Every structure is written in structure tokens, then in C-alpha cells.
Amino acid sequence: MASPRMSSRASAYSALLPAFIVLAVVYIGSTVWTMWMSLTGSRMLPNNNFVGLRNYEILFSNDRWITSVHNLAFFGVLFVAISLALGFLLAVAIDQKVRSEDSWRSVYLYPYSMSFVVTGLVWQWLLNPTLGIQKLVRDMGFETFTFDWIAHAETVLYCLVIAGVWHAAGLVMAIMLAGLRGVDEDIWKAARVDGLPTWRVYASVVTPMLGASFATAGVLLSTSVVRLYDLSVAMTRGGPGIASEVPAKFVMDHLFERANISLATAAATSMLITVIAVVAPYMYWRTRVAARGRA
Amino acid sequence: MSGAAAMQTMSPPGDAGGPRSARPVRMTPARWGLYAFLAITAAFFLLPLWVMVVTSLKTMNEIRLGAIIAPPLAPTLEAWAKAWSSACTGLACDGIRVGFWNSVKILVPSVFISILVGSMTGYALSFWRVPGANVLFTAMMIVAFIPYQVFIYPLVRVFAFIGLGQSIATIVIVHTIFGLPTMTLLFRNYFSSLPIELFKAARIDGASFYQIFFRIMMPMATPMIVVAVILQVTGIWNDFILGLVFAGRENLPMTVQLNNIVASVQGEREYNVDMAATMLTALLPLVVYFGSGRWFVRGIAAGAVKG
């Protein structure tokens, strides 16, 4: 990028004005305000009575918050692991010069175009114990078949995982397929000359080369985990009981229903710190890779 | 159903090879296994769409008696009609069309303004050296990952303070704000790939900042605009949380209204109406997805490189 030193720098500033306002008011202003609120005793309306970390003490002894965090971790690990594994397998399968590749790809990716509300409602219907898949299998003659995970606190999170994987696995497939197509042709030739079986090439040569694709997909999935809200609201409303509550829902409920701003902002700040802990190393790594690429 | 389709596609023993192998590969057991895997996973991915469609075409009686995956015996659009024009949310029984039109009112200006602001920001960042631009860009890339919950409460207060409160204008601004990182990145990367000589030549001819943007850059960026429209249309249409908080009670988008319709049960739940309403809400993104083909994948790829 050259930098033409021209006169109409004012125009450039005017074009960037909205972005700078957003930077100041939203990115910096809101974040600082949210963090500050979490240190005050604000309830229904914001106030500036500094109370130190008391809200965080209350937050981390709050059953619903602890459950929300556990749920998110449990959901997150399963959702990310299964989506990555399934997406990768699909990408490898499609990479075998299958017929009508485009049709397969559209089938795996279309759920990603739909909203979490739609996803949640469809899966809620499919997993409905009285009329859904359970009834289908029972009517086929297996009368003791049970698949009522959505109705039980111990299993409801698996339902969210199923819906989440259905929504996101295609995205992983698309990212991985792009990665696979980027692998140098010569590597395949060399491996064939060496007589390596295809699966060995994938396992020991190609997969390690897909580090960047795995990282990109992993970070995208992880950030969607932290944002998880609509799916839980639409599919289970956090239930049964509080068995599928998630942190984002905790924040929203405490902001708009329970009028407890300080607790909500303490929860939001905790989410922010978690995200930064995940994203900062990734950004650092990307910058390093980019710097090496340029050198 | 997809199994049968897979059988057909693989029946002629083709010249499909292993990855990048030159020699033709016959239908070995391994390739049968490969297609079986693809077909079974395809069934898993297609099942919800199929069930959504067939449920919406049945009567409640048939739903109670029949199998969830069975095609409708006597397809009827009654549930669609009810979902569209008379399904209830609370006391109001005007159907999901209210949410549909709200979503359209939110979507059109949001898509237009977010792309305009994003492309202009991307243009200014790629051709013009402005102090603070790097800070701005880095901040945007980080913010793209941060959950909305961090910003929501202060933004609600800010919009109340400047008198916009909850309104269409508010939600349009909010969509523009949260679309800004991706839109900027998309256009900055695209403009950076254009030859700088193009820009310099226009400068020498005396074109101004905005003339270059509107007369030269935007026409060249048509493919990026298509990608941006796809991303924003699906993203904004599918939004739930921002519409819930910022649009206001009178302007709730379709996703929120869908959730309210399904949640407000009076007497027995009508699954056929629920699924018809769900289908109606999913229709626009599905049309965009299947209509745009590879463009959608391009959009994802462009959006996925953030960071």
C-alpha cells in the first residue's frame, strides 16, 4: 500500500468518521462502562457506588451462573470437537473426487444459512418425546425405545449439541475443503511414489498441514459457543429447570427481567475475559504467521 | 430418500479417482463405504428440513396418528395460511406476516447502510494513510469476536439518551455497528488487491476521494458487493438478540415473533402451524443460499478470515 500524500485527507477522515465514532462509543465506551457497572451496586438503574469485586463474589456463588458456565463448557467441548471431526471427515470424503460434489456440499452446508431460532425449533420438534423420533421408532415395533433426552436435565445438553453440530458442521467442511484443496499437488505425487496408502497420507502428512484451517474453524466455533443464546432460548428455554441455561442468557435475563444490572455486567465482563483469553493467543499467532509470510 | 439418490449418482463405475490420482478408480468396497458415509450424513442433514416441510403440510390429526417423517396423506396449506395470517402471540392473532414485514423494514436499510459504511471504511483504510487507522482496524478485528452482551446495556442507555429509544432507526444503526468489522475487512482486503496505479491515475486526473469511491472503486467491487449482500441479508434476517433488544415491541423481527408464536401456547400446541411459521422464517435464507450457490461459500470464506 502506497501512501499518496494528497490534499483531501479531510475526506478520508469524513469517511472514517462513523468507524471512529463506533470505536469510541461502542468498542471502548461500552466495554469500559460495562466493566465499571460490574464494580458498582447498580440494580434497576445504573449508579456509581463502588463496591469492589463484590458482584463477582455473588456471581460465582450463584447456582444458576455456575450451572450456566458448566453447561457452556460441556456444550462447548462436545460441540467444537464433534463439529471439527465431522466437518473434517466430510471434507476428506468430498475430496475423493466424488460424483456431484456440489450437491453433497450444499446438503451439508445449508443448515448454516438458517437461524438458531429455526434450528432450535426444528430440533425441538424432532426430539419431542410424544410425537417425534421416539414415537417413530416405537411405532416401528421397538416399543421400549427411549429417546427423550430433551425432557431430562442430565441429557438435555446433548440435544443442544446435536442441533449445534447440525448447524455448524457444514461450515467446518467448507473451511477444511478449502484447506485440502490448497495442499500442494507434489505432496500427493511424492506420497504415491513412496507407495503410501491414501489414509496414511491424510493422517501423517495432510492433516498436520491443515493447522491453519483447524485453527480458523476452531476459533469461529468457539466464539459462537460463547455467544450461544438463541438456540437455548428457542429449543429449551434454559430448561428443564436450569439444566440448559447459558451465560449469555444469564446476562440477558438479569438485565431485562430481573433488573440486576451489576450482576449482569459482572457476568458479561466474565464472558469478555474468557473470549479474550481464547482470541488473544490466536490473534498473536496469526500476526506471527503473517509476519513470517511477509519476511 | 437421499440414499437412493446416492445410489443413482454412483451407479456407473466412474473415472472418479482417489485424491488427485491420475488412474481411474473402480467401485471398490472402500468407495461404496465412502458413498454410504456421505449418504448417511446427508440423511442426518436433510432430515430436519424434510420433517419441517411435511409437518407443515399435515393436519394435527394426521400428526398425532402418523409418523413424523411420513409424507402427508392429503397435503394442505391450511397450517401455512394460519401461520401467515392468524397465528397468535399473546393476545394478538395477526400471524407471522407482522414479523415478516418488520424484518423487511429492518433488513433493507440495514443491508444498504451497513454495506455503504463498511465499504467506505474499507476503501479509506486501504488507499489512504490516516493516523489511528491501524488502531481502528485492530479493534474491529477483536470486536468481531466479542459477545453482544458486553455492549448491549450501554447501547440501550445511549439510544435512550439520544432519543431514539427502541425503533427501526435504532436497530438499523445497531446492525450497521455490528456488521462493520466484517464489511470493512471484506472491502479492505478486496481494495488492497487492486493495483494502486488505478488509484494514482484517478488522483492525477483530479478525482476527489468520493468520486474515486463511487465512480471507480464501487463499480469494480461488484463481486464483493454481492458477497456482502449475501452475508448481511442472511445475518440480519437470522438475527434474534439484537432485534429483541433494539427494535422495540412494535417492530419485532420475524425470528423473535416466531419464537413468541411457538412459546405462547393456548390449549393444544399446533405443530403444523409452528413448523409452517418456522419454514416461512427460514425461507428467505434458504432461497438466498440455494440461489447463490458458490457465492455463499465465498461469503463464508471471506467472513471466516477475520482475525
Q: Which domains does chain B have, with CATH numbers?
A: 2-10+24-76 (no CATH), 97-304 (1.10.3720.10)
* Complex ipTM value: 0.90
Residues 200-229 of A with CB under 8 A from B: 216-217, 219-220, 223, 226-227, 229
Write the CA distances from B107 to A275, B232, B234, integer angstroms. 29, 9, 9
User: Taking CB atoms and an 8 Å limit, are B203 and A20 in contact across chains?
Assistant: no
Average pLDDT over residues B203-231: 90
User: Taking CB atoms and an 8 Å limit, are A93 and B38 in contact across chains?
Assistant: yes
Q: What is the DSSP letter of A112?
A: G
Top residue of A88, A117, A128 to mutate, by most chain B CBs within 10 Å, is A117
Question: Measured between CA atoms, how close is A101 to chain B, in angstroms?
Answer: 10
- Please say if the pLDDT value at position A289 is more than 80: no
- Please say if the pLDDT value at position B77 is more than 90: yes
Torsions phi, psi for A40 (to 5 deg): -115, 175
Q: Closest residue of A to B124, CA-based?
A: A12
**Pick from B157, B281, B286: which is nearest to A113 by CB?**
B286
Torsions phi, psi for A23 (to 5 deg): -60, -50
State how far the Cα of B73 lies from the Cα of B54, in Å rounded to an integer. 10
pLDDT recorded at residue A295: 53
State how far the Cα of B70 lies from the Cα of A136, in Å rounded to an integer. 10
What does the pLDDT look like over B172-181, one tens digit per residue?
Answer: 999 999 999 9
Q: Which of residues B29 and A69 earns the better pLDDT score?
A: A69
What does the pLDDT look like over B235-263, one tens digit per residue?
Answer: 999 999 999 999 999 999 999 999 999 98
User: Taking CB atoms and an 8 Å limit, are B20 and A185 in contact across chains?
Assistant: yes
Q: What is the DSSP letter of B198?
A: H
If pLDDT is split at 50, 70 and 90, which confidence band does B22 have? very low
User: Taking CB atoms and an 8 Å limit, are B19 and A233 in contact across chains?
Assistant: no
Q: Closest residue of A to B307, CA-based?
A: A283
Is there a contact between A273 and A53 (Cβ–Cβ < 8 Å)? no
What does the pLDDT look like over A221-245, one tens digit per residue?
Answer: 988 898 899 999 999 999 898 999 9
User: Taking CB atoms and an 8 Å limit, are A19 and B180 in contact across chains?
Assistant: yes
What does the pLDDT look like over A94-118, one tens digit per residue?
Answer: 998 888 888 999 999 999 999 999 9
Rounded to the nearest 10 degrees, the angle between the axes of helix B29-56 and helix A63-94 is 130
User: Taking CB atoms and an 8 Å limit, are B177 and A26 in contact across chains?
Assistant: yes
Q: Which of residues B300 and B213 earns the better pLDDT score?
A: B213
Q: How confident is the prediction for chain B on average, in pLDDT?
A: 86
What does the pLDDT look like over B272-298, one tens digit per residue?
Answer: 999 999 999 999 999 999 988 788 887
Amino acid letter, residue B9: T
User: Taking CB atoms and an 8 Å limit, are A166 and B45 in contact across chains?
Assistant: yes
If pLDDT is split at 50, 70 and 90, which confidence band does B303 have? low
**Pick from A20, A247, A279: which is nearest to B145 by CB?**
A279
Write the CA distances from B243 to B40, B105, B207, B238, B254, integer angstroms. 37, 12, 40, 10, 9
Residues 113-172 of A with CB under 8 A from B: 113-119, 121-123, 125-126, 128, 131-133, 135-136, 139, 166, 169-171
In 10 A of CB B250, how many CB atoms?
A: 10
User: Taking CB atoms and an 8 Å limit, are A271 and B150 in contact across chains?
Assistant: yes
Average pLDDT over residues A142-158: 91
Q: Which residues of A touch B285 (CB under 8 A)?
A: 113-115
User: Taking CB atoms and an 8 Å limit, are B155 and A30 in contact across chains?
Assistant: yes
Amino acid letter, residue B78: E
Is there a contact between A80 and A161 (Cβ–Cβ < 8 Å)? no
pLDDT recorded at residue B128: 79
Average pLDDT over residues B3-11: 33
Question: What are the residue boundaries of the structural domains of chain A, listed by start?
Answer: 65-294
- The correct answer on CATH 1.10.3720.10 for the domain covering A65-294 is yes
Rounded to the nearest 10 degrees, the angle between the axes of helix B222-238 and helix B271-292 is 170
State how far the Cα of B100 lies from the Cα of B95, in Å rounded to an integer. 9
pLDDT recorded at residue A291: 74
Q: Which of residues A116 and A193 earns the better pLDDT score?
A: A116
Q: Is A131 helix (H, G, I), strand (E, B) or coil?
A: coil
pLDDT recorded at residue A220: 86
Average pLDDT over residues B101-115: 97
Q: Which residues of A touch B290 (CB under 8 A)?
A: 106, 110
C-alpha grid cell for residue B284? 428467505
pLDDT recorded at residue B12: 33
Q: Which residues of A touch B289 (CB under 8 A)?
A: 106, 109-110, 113
